[in-house]
Chains A and B, each alone.
Chain A
Amino acid sequence: MQHSLTITTRSQADVLERVLRVTRHRGFLVQSMHIEHEVQHLPAGYAIELTVTSERPIAHLTNQLVKLFDVEQVTLKQLQAVASPEAAIA
């Protein structure tokens, strides 16, 4: 199953590695990724558009991504923001 996520993060050099490591380790394959750094709507961070596939429920990934210290928001495309772990399992 394919899912598209938007992830906004703090501007830390290691945050992309963290996002990709969690994505791989939790069983999701990256289909596409687009990254913008310190753009107008996010002057101090990264905006990541991520499309992944997996047999696993997407909550298994979003619940882990929102735990990353430098991740500020995770949004499932066309769904609600999952900014907090509580929202992520809703």
Chain B
Amino acid sequence: MNGAQQIVATLKQQGVEQVFGYPGGAIMPLYDALYDGGVKHMLTRHEQGAAMAAVGYARAGANRGLKVGVCIATSGPGATNLVTGLAEAQLDSIPLIAITGQVAQPVIGTDAFQEVDVLGMSLSVTKHSFMVTDVKELKRTIEQAFEIATSGRPGPVLIDVPKDIQLAEVEESLAYVASAKPATAPNASSLAQAKRLISEAKQPMAYVGGGVGMANAVSELRAFLTDSQIPSVSTLKGIGAITEDQPYYLGMLGMHGTKAANLSVQETDLLIVIGARFDDRVTGKLDEFAPDAKVIHLDADASEFGKRREPDVALDSDLKLTLPELHGKCDIAPWQATVNQRKHDFAWRYDHPGAHIFAPAMLNELSKMINKDTVVACDVGQHQMWVAQHMQFDGPENHLSSAGLGTMGFGLPAAIGAQFARPNDTVINVSGDGSFMMNVQELTTIKRAKLPVKMLLIDNNRLGMVRQWQDLFFNGRFSETILDDNPDFVKMASAFDIPGETISNKIDVHAALQRMLNSDGPYLLHVLIDAEENVWPLVPPGVANDKMMEDC
């Protein structure tokens, strides 16, 4: 057995069934081992596509028996093309293993062909990274990488493997001793303090983030909210952890959050932060965010405590263990009535004049047409916010959105990865005309793998979110955001044997969505919308969340 064969064998031992990647010179031994090694490999048409597909695979498969996404690339440009995917996984805490080929050790540091210092490059975009310098270390390095990627706050781990290590015969392997600490119970005195704050609060609010899904603590969260009847809001990545029928759930908070959520968070006297991190897109002007609130902060990563807001109580244990300990009834009827009234008063409206398709209404309609196990993978921009605002999800693994990094081009490869993780579920990429072009080469992957991925392409011939900001904050100077030279998207899809259609009138929306959902294979529904549509509400930069701009 050589090193490359041992990589494949160790991946199998780790339970890996599917990897995504792109071959090249320095990774050829591993691709030779993959040829008949028993691990399925999906060729993408760009390494970024492989990384994003692996992220989508890990996210859609979370809490469904799958854990880790794996992507593979060659040295130099192959590895540099992975970087955005690694950063994506780092910012959204996704368990990802990236294996890169490296030039042979004797020529490392000589500026050899396709040589880049990948370990150095990886430092800021991974949870950890390795370069293997002895084939005896290879197996245990991979085992260690999986442990790091999945333990505590998950994240990406890169393993750089020089070509000579891949080709070396394995005569012995050093044993790996697991070092991850087991999940710890919450500190008793902190817990008592938290329970006291909850019992004393008159206007508590649960602020729920992506950490809940990553900790597989969705059911514990729901039980806590049901038992306490504490009102709740969600971050972009937390969407799906709470369902719409949860009493006193106000939807997303922050820059494009609901008016009910933002106004209520500003008035809360106790913010219970559950797997969230006071991201700037959530808080608006930090000094004025929930100004009268005490803070209980629950997170798997203690470095989040006090990073942006000092907590009154910090609970750095596993959310699965902590949340059941916080149960208790709250006497907050007036507060519940207030948030309910706001939920009613500021409910979304879908009446819209004219024949133009109103994307929020269309997405809300789509949401009602799909079953709860449908996965929606977004790209980034206006359509992403409309999905977050106007679609409902049961489980964070069904809403894949590039939250931390905001990566245009994420949606299509993430949908591909999700379809591999969940072959029996419907997967829809909701995209915009700017984002779609960022990884459009992956249409070939859909064709190659015969994937039934649906694509809902919302096209305003603009980089819509940037255009919106230019309109509002840059005196309407539309610098490089007019995309009136877009290709004919339906014709382009047909070149990949993907059927599709274009609609532009709202009376056609329901039937077209139905055709897309009913199609056996992939389908592109290209939807033309008005270029002037904006995402509302919007909290402008530098102000508090209660000073949001509304339709203007």
Contact = CB atoms under 8 A, between A and B. Distances in A.
- Decide whether A and B assemble into one complex: yes
Interface of A: 14, 17-18, 21, 25, 57, 59-60, 63-64, 66-69, 84-86, 88-89
B119 A14 contact: yes
Given A63-B303, A63-B307, A85 B316 contact: yes
B124 interface: yes
Interface in B295-312: 301-303, 305-307
Nearest to A85: B302
Given A14-B129, A14-B131, A67-B301, 4 more contacts: A14-B120, A21-B124, A63-B305, A69-B127
B120 A89 contact: no
Given A60-B307, A69-B128, A69-B148, A86 B302 contact: yes
B71 interface: no
Contacts of B316: 85-86
8 contacts: A14-B119, A14-B120, A60-B306, A69-B127, A85-B316, A86-B302, A89-B302, A89-B305
A31 B517 CA distance: 61
A18 B306 contact: no
A19 to B, nearest CB: 10
Task: Tell me whether chain A's interface is mostly helix, strand or loop, or mixed.
Answer: helix
A81 to B, nearest CB: 15
B123 interface: yes
B123 A18 contact: yes
A18 B301 CA distance: 19
Nearest to A65: B303
A69 B274 CA distance: 25
A17 B128 CA distance: 12
Nearest to A69: B128
A89 B148 contact: no
Contacts of A63: 302-303, 305-307
A71 to B, nearest CB: 11
Interface string B132-152: 000000000000000010000
A25 B306 contact: no
A67 B153 CA distance: 10
B391 interface: no
A37 B77 CA distance: 34
A89 B119 contact: no
Contact of A67 (B120, B123, B303): B303
A17 B316 CA distance: 28
Interface string B100-132: 000000000000000000011001100111010
Contacts of B303: 63-64, 66-67, 85, 88
Contacts of B123: 14, 17-18, 21
B314 A89 contact: yes
B148 A85 contact: no
Nearest to B190: A86
B306 A17 contact: no
A20 to B, nearest CB: 10
Contacts of A14: 119-120, 123, 129, 131
Contact of A57 (B120, B131, B306, B314): B306
A60 B131 CA distance: 28
B6 to A, nearest CB: 22
Contacts of A68: 128
A88 B302 contact: yes
A84 to B, nearest CB: 8
A69 B158 CA distance: 13
A85 B124 CA distance: 19
Interface string B225-237: 0000000000000
A25 B123 CA distance: 11
Given A14-B119, A69-B148, A85 B301 contact: yes
B306 A89 contact: yes
Nearest to A63: B303
A17 B124 contact: no
Of B119, B123, B303, B316, most A-chain CB atoms within 10 Å: B303
Interface string B489-511: 00000000000000000000000
Contacts of A25: 124
Interface in B266-312: 301-303, 305-307
Contacts of A66: 303
